Structure 1
Amino acid sequence: MIRLTSLSKSIRERNGDVRTLFRDLDFDMSASERSVAILGRSGSGKSTLLRILAGLDVDFGGLYSYDGTQLPKSPSSMAAHRLERIGIVTQAYDLLPDRTVAANVAIGCARRRGASARVAEALELVGIDHLASKRPTHLSGGEAQRVAIARAIVKRPSVVLADEPTGALDEGTEEEVLHLFERLQDGGTQFVIVTHSDRVAQRCGRRKRISEYRLVDVD
């Protein structure tokens, strides 16, 4: 379904030095896979790789293909791809404090028919429909993460990209979130999860690590 071929990416540091993140990196995820974990040391480019998969970063070398079709590396085409097929869960949740839970989730399906019904469905699916009228400032970390997940799945994406989705959670809440991910996978949603946690990675169907600018398999 998703394929990156011969990906290359460099960034310029604050001191002006150029640092290579990826060189001839390949990634693929077939339609039959449930989840892939991306591991790597801090600064190795895990989050950058996720941004490329999300179509948020188009400044890279190499090819991006989806369902066998090469996607143009333009902001407009990548944005259309993202809005149609990809949901994103960020580490910081990125919830708007002046909006209710339901309104935050609705951002994920703006201008779609039946948005209200989709929001209600997503909130029920992640188990927080009773918090629809609350504001993010009144939520626990686990509840806020569930709102972020609901916002990612409300448009019914094919793939959810999650960046350190349990990094700020305690072990019990982490387990709840991972169980939720597995239920969503049972329903057909695929996950690519960037994580520093071996425990989270072990819950994924396949594990990859960024090493020497490329992705290598992890046993």
Structure 2
Amino acid sequence: MITLRDVSKTITEPDGSTRTLFDRLGFALRDDDRSVAITGRSGSGKSTLLRILAGLDTDFTGTYEHDGRVLERTPRRMAEHRLRHIGIVTQDHSLLGDRSVLDNVRLGVPARAGSTDRARDALEAVDIGHLAGKRPRRLSGGEAQRVAIARAIAKHPVVVLADEPTGALDETTEDGVLALFDQLQQAGTKFVIVTHSERVAQRCGRRLHLHHEQLIECGT
């Protein structure tokens, strides 16, 4: 699984001052974890931590391990790791407006061969197979979020990293997305979810709170 050891990171604010986000922070996604919620105040570094877990942010000190091996933090090596093992759901969905829903989901599949079938299967898994030919601008917020989830799971990742996946959704749509996450967890996919929502955090099997540059284990 994924382990971060002694991760420290400092950022530069717009006014030129510096601020420490993490100070020798540790994180481990364990074999028995199905879902982990990461909570914390705005600006505490939750989204940055998720980007580090995704291999999108390599500007930190410390080590990133996968299955007990330290990974070299080069853009190429981390991109390979992300492509093979990690699905990502962003806050803004990150859908391409000039592509169909199906094409957007195909982008999440590493190999071209079979990508269409896997994309269609992923869309069916999130109950929006009928939207395959639509463009993102014609989708509701809940539909767009399901497309983003389909893209994340199309390659059958070991773990899905989700940044505020229900932040812009109404309660009914949120319940539908969380039920889908439960189904995917039962099928073996692990989730790490950054959230401000108490409802979402309570649905996760484990909860970590980012506070004073550290992750604190919370009761669930």
TM range, smaller chain: over 0.9
| In 2, Cα distance between equivalents of 1:31 and 1:90 | 24
Q: How does 1:60-209 map to 2 (within 5 A)?
A: 60-209=60-209
| In 1, Cα distance between equivalents of 2:17 and 2:6 | 23
Q: 1:15-36: CA deviations, max 9, x gaps?
A: 1101000001110011221000
TM (normalized to structure 2)?
0.98
Please report how far the alpha carbon of residue 98 of structure 1 lies from its aligned counterpart in structure 2 after TM superposition: 1.4
| In 2, Cα distance between equivalents of 1:211 and 1:7 | 14
Specify the code of the residue in structure 1 equivalent to 2:152: A
Partner of 1:7: 7
Contact 2:95–2:136 (CA<8 Å) still a contact in 1? yes
Partner of 1:59: 59
- Residue 78 of structure 1 aligns to a residue in which SS? helix
| In 2, Cα distance between equivalents of 1:160 and 1:49 | 14
Please report how far the alpha carbon of residue 192 of structure 1 lies from its aligned counterpart in structure 2 after TM superposition: 0.2
Structure 2, unpaired ranges of 5+: none
Specify the code of the residue in structure 2 equivalent to 1:56: L
Q: 1:34-85: CA deviations, max 9, x gaps?
A: 0000000000000000000000000001111111111111111111100110
Specify the code of the residue in structure 2 equivalent to 1:114: G
| In 2, Cα distance between equivalents of 1:80 and 1:111 | 12
| In 2, Cα distance between equivalents of 1:134 and 1:17 | 45
Q: Cα RMSD over matched residues?
A: 0.8
**Aligned CA distance change for structure 1 residues 92 and 144 (closer, same or farther; 3 Å):** same
- Residue 15 of structure 1 aligns to a residue in which SS? coil
Please report how far the alpha carbon of residue 137 of structure 1 lies from its aligned counterpart in structure 2 after TM superposition: 1.0
- Residue 116 of structure 2 aligns to a residue in which SS? helix
| In 2, Cα distance between equivalents of 1:55 and 1:112 | 23
Please report how far the alpha carbon of residue 110 of structure 1 lies from its aligned counterpart in structure 2 after TM superposition: 4.8
- Residue 109 of structure 1 aligns to a residue in which SS? coil
Partner of 2:29: 29
| In 2, Cα distance between equivalents of 1:110 and 1:137 | 25
| In 2, Cα distance between equivalents of 1:27 and 1:87 | 18
Q: 1:175-214: CA deviations, max 9, x gaps?
A: 0000000100011000000001111000000000001100
Q: 1:145-178: CA deviations, max 9, x gaps?
A: 0000000011111000000000000011000000
Specify the code of the residue in structure 1 equivalent to 2:160: V
| In 1, Cα distance between equivalents of 2:120 and 2:94 | 20
| In 1, Cα distance between equivalents of 2:144 and 2:77 | 30
- Residue 107 of structure 2 aligns to a residue in which SS? helix
| In 1, Cα distance between equivalents of 2:96 and 2:78 | 24
Moved over 4 A (4+): none
Q: 1:69-120: CA deviations, max 9, x gaps?
A: 1111111111110011000000100111111110110111153321111011
- Residue 108 of structure 2 aligns to a residue in which SS? helix
TM (normalized to structure 1)?
0.98
| In 2, Cα distance between equivalents of 1:139 and 1:185 | 26
| In 2, Cα distance between equivalents of 1:178 and 1:104 | 22
Specify the code of the residue in structure 2 equivalent to 1:192: V
